[in-house]
Structure 1
Amino acid sequence: MKSLKSIAFLVLFSTLTFFCRADEGMWLPQLLQQLNEKQMKALGMKISASDIYSINKSSLKDAIVSFGGFCTAEVISDKGLLLTNHHCGFDAIQNHSTLDHNYIRDGFWAKNNAEEMPNPGLFATFIVRIDEVTKEAMAGVTADMDDRARQSQIDKNIAALRSSVKKETYQDVLVRPFFDGNKYYAFVTETYKDVRLVGAPPSSIGNFGKDTDNWSWPRHTGDFSMFRIYAGPDGKPAEFSPNNVPYKPKRSLSISLDGTAKNDFTMVFGFPGRTMEYLPSVAVEQIVTMNDPAKIAIRDKALVIMDDAMRKDEGIKIQYASKYAGVQNAYKKWQGEVLGINRTKAIDKKKAYEAEFQKRVDAAPKWKTQYGNLLNEINTAYAQYVYDEYNADVDKRLFASLMEMYYTSGTNMLQSEELKKLVEKGDNNYSKIADKLYGNTDLDDAKKTMEALEKDPKSLLQKYKEDDVNKLLASINTSYNQQTGSAIGAVQARINTLQRQYMQAQMEVFAEKKFYPDANSTLRVAYGKVAGYQPRDGVEYDYYTYLDGVMEKYKPGDYEFDVPQKLRDLYKAKDYGQYGSGGRLPVCFIATNHTTGGNSGSPVLDAYGNLVGLNFDRVWEGTMSDLNYDPSICRNIMVDIRYVLFIIDKFAGATNLIKEM
């Protein structure tokens, strides 16, 4: 009997952990005073919630921008200077790089405004205010509506909302769903479209460790780059113009050189992209046993081919650097996600949570009527569901390898008649098939294609329609849509409906829990404490790394671990200036802040709201925090602001930027 009581206690405890994680969450800043301020102060925060978000005075939110819609950046001077990650600015750095001016390899530092380089398409968006508009968005929505009618009504309401919200003519309004469509918020925004490259360290600093160290700790990467926002002469958003002037912000972040210590409060402010924290156990199980392994296998093939070509040719390295980084980033992340879910027994914990959910539902007649069969329906739905940066030679090899992998995988979902004929004619030799396809096209030549587009676009369009590669793609898409596309779409629509109902049910049934909405690229605050962790038995990681570790990893001439001569000289002389601590130079640190993609470039703030670091990654074992946050192994990785300033000042000699901050 005692043993059974112990087991019951453990199950209950694992369920209750869903309500007690002090470090978990990506919180809406306008709700911090209501939901989080007390807990944040208990963890050590010294400022108020209104210092973080306010519409009546300048606040920290006025220094935070969505950088290009894919990262976060922060204003660090009164002249619109932005700080973000090196990997966030990488496309801009790559686009300005040539073999003669290789800014990826050598870095770039503008000595004055005239040398700062424009980046068409890059923008910085500020949040002016956030308002709940659930009532307005849901007006006219009834319980008997199907999903299509429901969404149509909501879309009409949102269109009306966007035109009625009070704003300036140069501002915009975005309305976003939260909690799977159970709540809606409107964001009044200001977007600046003239954002210029100011500075970036060489990749041997900004991307030190590359693929080997990605998603890993200990880390020694100076992952930062600098840009500047430009505005029209009136200070308002404007398209690029030589007449534009540096933006004068409402707020810029103060920088602290004090560093952080174990258990210090930290806060990450940014635009996290996507999480799925409230999925049922059946969905998470499908992700880690089916979806992730399939995606990992496909990318493994692609990475081998790109890596081989990039190591042999500097030109291809420039062409494929960004593409390779994106593929590799996801590849390694999914591996860590599977590892973390299994190691923390996340699926078992979700099942315990669902058992408690069902128990509470069954005990309340109203809930039993409304939600009694919800989990069974979800399980049934998922069971049905189961059923210019271009080089022609590299791309051809990718095609051959991936097509062979798919065609021989045993599934016929994409095996159109066109593909089967192609394979038969090629005698199952996929390199030969690729040679034939790529040998009969001019569309892999950017120069010829652009010339044809300018000269005779109609002829180019006809050539595109008749191109063998395009015909193959069209046949595969048609085959997919005919065989499985519509069926999968119908099941996915059903899953979306059930997930919305499940989210609503969780908030009702677990009324004592503080729910934060899943990330959706809107402004959020995450908070936690500086802490090391134990990734596995017998291993314990500290929370800080130093320049000593960079030198320990140094491999002369290596693709991933080379170190610039000047940085080695500074290390040898211990010439750290005001940025050192105890005779050493801090490089990176970790904490328990809950982050995800989109948080790259987010400022890391101390208890007083000062900038102490720059978020850029998560530890490999904790990448599963998109599905299930666990404080035992989930850590975000940050570059120490002292290392950033040291590189700008001592390494690059960009004293103009140091003086500006």
Structure 2
Amino acid sequence: MIKRSFLLSAVIVPAVMAFAQQYGGMWIPTEVNEKEMKEMGMKISAKQIFDPSKPSIKDAVVQFNGGCTAEIISPQGLLLTNHHCGYGQIQKHSTVENDYLADGFWAKDMNGELPNPGVTVDFVADIKEVTKQVLAGTDGLEGKAAEDIINKNLDAVKAGFKLEPWQKVVIKPVYYGNKYYAYIIETYKDIRLVGAPPSSIGKFGSDTDNWVWPRHTGDFSMFRIYADKNNKPAEYSKDNVPYKPKYFLPVSIKDKQENDFTFVFGFPGRTTEYLPAIAIEKVMNEIDPAMISVREVALKTLDEKMRADKETKIKYASKYASVANYWKKWIGEVEGLKKSNAVEKKAAYERSLMDKNPKLNSTLIELRRLYAGQGPFALNRAYYSEVVRNAETLTLANFYSNYADAVESGKMDAAIADNFKKRLTGIYQNFDGELDAKVTAKVLALYANKTPQNFLPKDFEKYKDENQNLKQIEEWSKNSVVTGRGTFNGTTAIKDIDKVFSDQKNLVQNLKNDPLMKLFTSMKKAYMDNTEEYFNTYQGHIDRLQKEYMALLMETDKDRKFFPDANSTLRVTYGKVAGSSPRDAVKYGYQTHIAGIMEKYVPKDYEFDVPEKLIDLYNKKDFGIYKDKTGDVPVNFTASNHTTGGNSGSPALDAYGNLIGLNFDRQWEGTMSDINYDPKLCRNIMVDTKYILFIIDKYADAKWLINEMKIVK
């Protein structure tokens, strides 16, 4: 039985949030904790959420472009997801003259909807547990011997599914390989942009408000799925027609109350709820702080140029947001782990189970030894990977290094070469060599100063001074093929990448003489020689022991109902509408309103500007049917649903399965929920459907979209 705990209610409506989940939960939809969901207030059945044999809510929920979640809200395939999930597509359609990021975009009808080559949505048609088939013949085996048999079994299980031409099967492990599930997936490839508010609405508060509450962000955008005349997946074509879904979500504009039941349905990316205490300690004290420090340097450097130059702001907008997102998340995660006493709690839990099952004692002792031994290598891995990732000059050098290796090893063919060119072109499209020279100079100095010499290339201490680094990097960059500023074969990679890559042998020779390539190659060699193999060896032992530890946990703790860690597969989480009290004398209500937007309004500020039309609507109190009992339009709200990255864009549903909000963030004090869910601190943040419809209707004058939906009043 799951223990119940009680939270201090929010400031707006005094109430007790009963039945709070002690451990959170991201449940496989075929195995939801239906009993507890109904105890907490759910009025529908688990079959109505997921039923492979007839239409159910799962038929309205899709994975959007491989990373976010989206949901269908009309019988014509209208798709709702976050603004930040559609940000890259909005950016690609934007120019300085026609800036949809700044001004928003709203198609006047279906003919005006914009195609997005490469964007996909995935439906989950069915889920089957295949543990017995996958693990057959592995008893008593471990390591490579077990992996070889599992891989053969996986191929056999996949081959056993009878699939339609537009379907595929994906099999994923859960509980660290103690169970396996097969997912039948249908992918649609013609996805068109329908509408998006301006960033001053969709990204209101930007990086200052990211991960924090109270929040006032209209983080939504709209797309549409198109299909062939038979309603099946097809590549983009003018002849395609709007997709007719098996199910679409009714949209509720009823007022929300503290303690209302909610559930979130989507594709959470990755959690590690079952790590031992020693692993949490390493994340909190070493790994997260290292990654935070590198991104902090990169972000500060980019921000200075973006504030001063509009073209740079547009070019780097998506990139900056991506880097800043997890930088801020990690800061909150560290604070939350400390505040919730996560290490002490997990250690106490381990001790309590060791009394019940002595086998756990030896397993945990060995896990502690392995994590302690891996520590220095894990820390250098964190620094190295973040330096290469955030200094795009080094990212580019890494791509060219891999290209040269492929050419010299004889593994290069036309398809591989085209893939390299495509990926490099994508980087160059939004790359400023002079700006990145500054970023590279600074993160190199940080790496040289923070990393023990035994992990670094010989004489790397010369990079400890960022000013000296900048002079050197800038000099090298001007003549480097890598940065796209130096010429080769009479042109640059930015101007004509095909011509640069047409002479493979000479290009490789040029790269070998390039000082930036020599710098990166020395860094990579030092990392591979001094870190990679040692880290991976430890990790292999940890992974095998973590599987054993997970099995022992499930065997020993009979009172706990376990759910698998998130792994980007379809999951259900549930909770209640609730405010929070994250710190002494601080109480947060569960709902924000447009009035709060006006309180934060800073004219012309890139984070807190407000469109004139929204100001006019507010001043006239022209709220239509979208105001709540306060007389204002609710913007965002919080609840105790256990969410993570990948849940962005997930539908928040009420007790009857109606759409009441769009998940887009978590409260900063609870971002450690990926590792340690704490019902007192962990809150997910959602855009209220009232605000979404208000913006579509009153602000965008796109009533034709409202008319497609089924509105629950």
Tell me the TM-score normalised to structure 1 length.
Answer: 0.93
What is the one-letter code of the residue matched to 1:438? S
**SS of 2:176's equivalent?**
coil
Counterpart in the other structure of 1:277: 273
| 1:595 maps to amino acid | T
For the 8 Å contact 1:119–1:197, the answer to whether it is kept is: yes
CA–CA distance in structure 2, aligned partners of residues 430 and 164 of structure 1 = 58
Deviation at 1:410, TM superposition (A): 4.3
Looking at structure 2, the residues matched to 144 and 561 of structure 1 have their Cα atoms a distance apart, in angstroms, of 59
Match in the other structure for 1:38:
35
Q: 2:344 aligns with which of 345, 348, 369?
A: 348
Residue number among 551, 555, 558 corresponding to 1:511 in the alignment: 558
Q: Does 1:532 align with 2:529?
A: no
Structure 1 residue 20: Cα displacement: 8.0
Deviations 1:350-394 (A, max 9, x none): 0110001111113xxxxx4xx441010000001101132211121
Match of 1:454 in 2: 498
Shift of 1:142: 2.9
Q: Encode CA deviations 1:477-531: one digit per residue, 9 max, x unaligned.
A: 1111111221111011111111111001100011231100000000000000001
Between 1:576-585 and 1:151-160, the stretch displaced more is 151-160
SS in 2 for 1:303: helix
Alignment of 1:260 onto 2:256: yes
One-letter amino acid matched to 1:472: L
Deviates more, 1:596-605 or 1:340-349: 340-349
Q: Tell me, what secondary structure is at the counterpart of 2:450?
A: coil
**Equivalent position of 1:409 in the other structure:** 450
In structure 2, the partner of 1:294 is: 290
Aligned to 1:523: 570
Equivalents in 2 of 1:148, 1:95: separation in Å? 45
Q: CA deviation at 1:617?
A: 0.3
Match of 1:98 in 2: 95
Distance 2:163 2:603 in 1: 56
Q: 1:429 aligns with which of 468, 471, 480?
A: 468
For the 8 Å contact 2:457–2:526, the answer to whether it is kept is yes
Q: Which moved more, 1:459-468 or 1:469-478?
A: 459-468
Q: 2:681 aligns with which of 610, 633, 638?
A: 633
Structure 2 residue aligned with 1:8: none
SS at match of 2:538: helix
Structural mapping, 1:457-606, within 5 Å: 457=501, 458=504, 459-582=506-629, 583-606=631-654
Matches of 1:23 and 1:629, distance apart in 2: 6
Distance 2:444 2:548 in 1: 40
Residue 284 of structure 1 and its aligned partner are, at CA, apart by: 0.2
SS of residue paired to 2:97:
coil
Distance across 2 between alignment mates of 1:23 and 1:99: 48
The answer to which of 341-350 and 543-552 deviates more is: 341-350
Contact 1:137 1:154 in 2 (8 A): yes
Residue in structure 1 matching 2:145, options 126, 142, 149: 149
Equivalent in 382, 386, 389 of residue 375 of structure 2:
386
Q: Provide Cα deviations, 1:265-308, integer angstroms capped at 9, x if missing partner.
A: 00000000000000000000010000111111111101110100
Deviation at 1:537? 0.4
Aligned letter for 1:40?
M
State the identity as a percent: 51
The TM-score, its normalising length taken from structure 2, stands at 0.86
Deviation at 1:456, TM superposition (A): 5.0
* Deviation of the 1:559 alpha carbon: 1.2
Deviation at 1:148, TM superposition (A): 2.2
2:120 maps to which of 112, 120, 123:
123
Helix, strand or coil: the match of 1:449? coil
Counterpart-to-counterpart distance in 2, 1:564 and 1:234: 42
Who is 1:645 aligned against? 693
Q: What amino acid is aligned across from residue 83 of structure 1 in structure 2?
A: L
RMSD of equivalent CA atoms: 2.0
Question: Is 2:180 the counterpart of 1:184?
Answer: yes
* 1:375–1:566 Cα change, 3 Å: same
Equivalent residue, structure 2, for 1:7: none
The answer to whether the 8 Å contact 1:22/1:528 transfers is: no
CA distance in 2, matches of 1:479, 1:316: 34
Three-state SS of the structure 2 residue aligned to 1:429 is helix
Deviating above 4 A after TM superposition, structure 1's stretches of 4 or more consecutive aligned residues are 459-462
- Counterpart residue type for residue 58 of structure 2: K
1:38 counterpart SS class: helix
Equivalent residues of 2:265, 2:651 under 8 A apart: yes
Q: Which residue of the partner structure matches residue 441 of structure 1? A: 480
Is 1:397 matched up with 2:438?
Answer: yes
Aligned partners of 1:552 and 1:579: how far apart in 2? 20
Taking the TM superposition and a 5 Å limit, the aligned residue runs for 1:59-138 are 59-138=56-135
User: Secondary structure of the equivalent of 1:325?
Assistant: helix
Q: Does the alignment pair 1:375 with 2:370?
A: no
* Amino acid across the alignment from 2:437: K
- Letter matched to residue 56 of structure 1: S
CA distance in 2, matches of 1:566, 1:56: 47
The residue type equivalent to 1:143 in the other structure is G
Matched, 1:162 2:158: yes
The alpha-carbon deviation at position 435 of structure 1 amounts to 1.2
The correspondence for 2:312, drawn from 310, 316, 325, is 316
Q: Which amino acid in the other structure matches residue 391 of structure 1? A: D
Decide whether the 8 Å contact of 1:215 with 1:618 is kept in 2. yes
Q: How far does residue 468 in structure 1 lie from its aligned partner after superposition?
A: 2.4
Partner of 2:396: none
Indicate if the aligned counterparts of 1:413 and 1:480 stay in contact, CA closer than 8 A: no
In the alignment, which residue of structure 1 is the partner of 2:388?
Answer: none
Amino acid in structure 1 at the alignment position of 2:635: V
Contact map agreement 1:622 1:634 (CA 8 A) in 2: yes
Q: Distance in 1 between matches of 2:561 and 2:466?
A: 61
Q: Is 1:656 the equivalent of 2:704?
A: yes
- Match of 1:168, SS state, is coil
Give the whole-Å Cα distance in 2 for the aligned partners of 1:610 and 1:456. 55
Aligned residues: 634
Counterpart check, 1:624 vs 2:613: no
CA distance in 1, matches of 2:76, 2:463: 60
Moved more, 259-268 or 407-416: 407-416
Displacement, 1:114?
2.0
Q: More displaced, 282-291 or 434-443? A: 434-443
Please list the CA deviations of residues 105-134 of structure 1 after superposition, one character each: whole Å capped at 9, or x if unmatched. Answer: 000111122221111221000000000000
Gaps of 5+ in 2: 7-18, 377-428, 486-490
1:21-49 C-alpha deviation (Å, 9 max, x unpaired): 367100010112xxx11111111111011
Q: Matched residue of 2:493: which SS? A: helix
Shift of 1:413: 5.3
Deviation (angstroms), 1:242: 1.8
Distance in structure 2 (CA, Å) of the matches to 1:576 and 1:427: 53
Asked whether the equivalents of residues 191 and 224 of structure 2 are also in contact (C-alpha less than 8 Å), the reply is: yes
Question: 1:398–1:414: structure 2 CA closer, same or farther, 3 Å change rule?
Answer: farther
Partner SS, residue 149 of structure 1: helix
Deviation at 1:144, TM superposition (A): 3.2
Q: Distance in 2 between matches of 1:112 and 1:410?
A: 57
C-alpha distance in 2 between matches for 1:390 and 1:76 = 37
Aligned partners of 1:23 and 1:527 also within 8 Å? no
Q: CA–CA distance in 2 between the matches of 1:465 and 1:83?
A: 48
